[in-house]
Structure 1
Amino acid sequence: MIRIDELMFSYGGRCVYDGLSTYFETGAVYGLLGKNGAGKTTLLRLIAGLTECSGGKIDIDGEIPSKRRPELLDRLYFVPETFSAPDIPVIDYATNIGMFYSGYDADAFDRYLKEFEVDPHQRFRRLSFGQRKKAIIAFALSLNTSLLLLDEPGNGLDIPSKLTLRRMLSEYSGPGRTVILSTHQVRDVEDIVDHIAVIDRGRLLLNMSTEDIGRRIMFMTSDCAIHGALFSERVTGGFVNILRKSMDDDGEPTRKSRKIDMEILFNACVNGNGNFGKEVEYAL
C-alpha cells in the first residue's frame, strides 16, 4: 500500500501540495484525474522517488521512495509523458535496462511490441512520438513490477493503440499489483480503472473505488436539471444528473441508473460546489 501523509511540495515559489494525505490500495487500478497543471505528474514523480517532498511522508510498503533503495526500485516503474531515449535499437534498450529488474520478461516484451506493431530493431530516435511511447509502455509492462506509474499514457496513441493499451493494462492488473495512471482525458481510462482519484490545484477531491461510488450515487438523464441533484450538467439532448442512490424495502434502487459517467463525475468534482467528494463519501 502507498500511504501519503501531510505531503508538502513547492517549486519556483509555487505551492503544489500543502498537507495532502491519502492512500492507494494494493491490487487496484487507479485513474488519477485532473486538469493540466493540477499536480498529477508531480505526485507520480514523488511516489516514484524522482522528486523529494519538502515535508510530510510517502511510504510504499514500509519504504521511503526518495531513498531510492534498490529493493524498492526493483518493484516500481514510472512511464513519463515524454521520453528522451538514447540512439540505440529498442531491443538493445530493453536488454540493457531490463537486466536491473528481477521480473523482466523478454518474451513478454517481444509480444507487447508485436501487438503495438513496433519494430524491436528500429532505433528509438527514429520512431515517431507515438511509436516511442508504445515501446516504452511495452517495456514497462514486461518488467512485471508490483507498482506501475503511467503519466498520460494515452497521449500520442491512435485509437487502435489506445484500445490495445486498455486490454494490456486489464490483463496486467491483478492481486499484488498497483497501477496508477494519470490523465486529463477521462474517457481514455473509464473502462479499465477500478478506483478514481481526482486532484485539483493540489487538493484531493475524491479517492474511492468505482464499486463504492456505484453504491452511493446514480447517474440519470433527464430533460431538465433534477431538483436536489448533487450535480447536473447539460449535455446533448438534456441533462445528466448525479443523485444520491435510494433503495426500496427490497434493497433495490428506486430509479434506474446509467453506468458511472466518469467525465461527468470528474466535472462534478472540479466544477461543483467544492464539497462533492464529501457528499459522495457520506451519501449512504
Structure 2
Amino acid sequence: MIEVSNICFKYPGSKRPVFTDFSVSMAPGRVYGLLGKNGTGKSTLLYLMAGLLRPRSGSVCVDGVEASKRRADMLREMFVVPEEFFLPDVTLDAYVRINAPFYPRFSREVLDACLADFELPGRLRLGKLSMGQKKKVYMSFALAAGTRLVLMDEPTNGLDIPSKSIFRRVVARHFTDDRTFVISTHQVHDVEQLIDHLLIISTGGMLLDASVADVCGRYSFELRQPGEPLGGVVYAEPSLQGNLVMARRQAGWPETQLNLELLFNAVVQGKLPAGSLAGGEEV
C-alpha cells in the first residue's frame, strides 16, 4: 500500500539531510509502530507519506500513486492525526457536516461510539474543550472517517493514564484487515500492546524493520535476578527487581511478551545488526 523508494530529503536552510537513500514498504492489515530518537525524521516520514512534503529525489507512493500529487482519490483514503492541530470554535455537528463529506465511508455511529468510550458526549462545542479532549475528538473523527490509511503522530501525548488505555482499545476495535495504521511515538509503553510491526529509524537509515511476531519468535524478554546466568543475553538493563534482559530464545522456551522499551534501547545501542533480526535463531 505504501512504497517509499530511495528518498532523499532535507529541509531548506538545513545542512543535514533527514533521509538519504531511504526505503521502506508498508502493507495493509498492520499497525506499524514508527520509533526513533528525537530528530530522526519520524514526523517528516509521516508528512512525506501524506504528500505534505516532497522528497528531493526518490518516490513515495500510496497505492501506486505519487503521494505529493495529493490526488482526491488518495486523500479520501488517508487521515493524518498530527501531534499539534487546530479545531475551530464550532459545534461537533457543524464540524461533521463540513468535513465528513470528504470521506465516503464516514460513520457517525463509529464517531459516537468512540466518543462514548472516551466519556465524551455527542454534542460538543469544540472551542470549549481542553487539549486532551480535543485530541480524543480528533482521533475519534479519524477512526470514523473509515480511511484505509491512518497516520498518527504522538497520539497519546496529552492523554491521562486511563485515556491511554481507552485509546488502545478504541484503535484495536476499529482496525480492520484492509486498513493500515502508522503510529509515530516516543511513548513506547502506550502502544506496545497495539502494534504488530516495528520500524525503528535513525539518522543513518532503518535500524529495524520486523514484525512483533518475528521479534518474539527469536528473542525472550525476561526479568532475571542478580547472580542468575546471563547466557544468550544480547542486552540487559538493571532494575529495582533485578535485570531486565533480552535474550536469544532457545528451543522449548515459551514465548514472552514484547518489552518494547528494552528492544528499542538494544537496537539504538547497536546490540542488533542494523536493518534485521540477525543474531537470532529460528525456534
Conserved 8 A contact 1:30-1:179: yes
Partner of 1:41: 43
Match of 1:265 among 258, 263, 266: 263
Out of 267-276 and 41-50, give the one that drifted further. 267-276
Q: Distance in 2 between matches of 1:278 and 1:182?
A: 20
Asked if 2 retains the 8 angstrom alpha-carbon contact of 1:213 and 1:280, the reply is: no
Matched, 1:229 2:233: yes
Give the aligned partner of residue 99 of structure 2.
Answer: 97
Q: Give the aligned partner of residue 157 of structure 1.
A: 159
Structure 1 letter corresponding to 2:260: M
Tell me if the contact between 2:83 and 2:155 (Cα under 8 Å) persists in the aligned partners. Answer: yes
Equivalent residues in 2 for 1:113-192, closer than 5 Å: 113-192=115-194
Aligned residues: 278
Match of 1:27 in 2: 29
**TM-score normalised per structure 1:** 0.91
Partner of 1:4: 4
Q: What residue identity is the alignment partner of 2:183?
A: L
Q: Amino acid of the residue matched to residue 112 of structure 1?
A: C
Q: 127-136 vs 6-15, which deviates more? A: 6-15
Query: What is the distance in 2 between the residues matched to 1:15 and 1:94?
Result: 39
1:281 and 1:175, CA in 2 relative to 1: closer, same or farther beyond 3 A? Answer: farther
8 Å Cα contact 1:32/1:40 also seen in 2 = yes
Partners of 1:140 and 1:279 in 2: CA distance: 33
Q: Report the Cα offset of residue 228 of structure 1.
A: 4.8
> For residue 240 of structure 1, what is the amino acid of its counterpart?
L
Whole-Å separation in 2 of the counterparts to 1:213 and 1:173: 22
Deviation at 1:281, TM superposition (A): 7.1
Deviations 1:135-194 (A, max 9, x none): 100100101111111111100111221111111111122211111111101000011111
- Which of 73, 79, 83 is the equivalent residue of 1:71? 73
1:40 and 1:164 map into 2 onto residues whose CA distance is 24
Mark the runs of 5 or more structure 2 residues left unpaired by the alignment.
none
Offset of residue 122 of structure 1: 3.1
What's the TM-score, normalizing by structure 2? 0.91
SS of 1:102's equivalent?
coil
Cα distance change, pair 229–281 in 1 and its aligned pair in 2 (3 A): closer
RMSD: 1.9
Structure 1 residue 94 displacement after superposition: 1.9
Q: In the aligned structure 2, how far is the partner of 1:257 from the partner of 1:30?
A: 21
- Is the 1:216–1:280 contact (alpha carbons within 8 Å) kept by the matching residues of 2? no
C-alpha separation in 2, matches of 1:18 and 1:204:
11
Gaps of 5+ in 1: none
Residues 277, 202 of structure 1: alpha-carbon distance in 2 compared, 3 angstrom cutoff: closer
Question: In 2, are the aligned partners of 1:268 and 1:276 still within 8 Å (CA)?
Answer: no
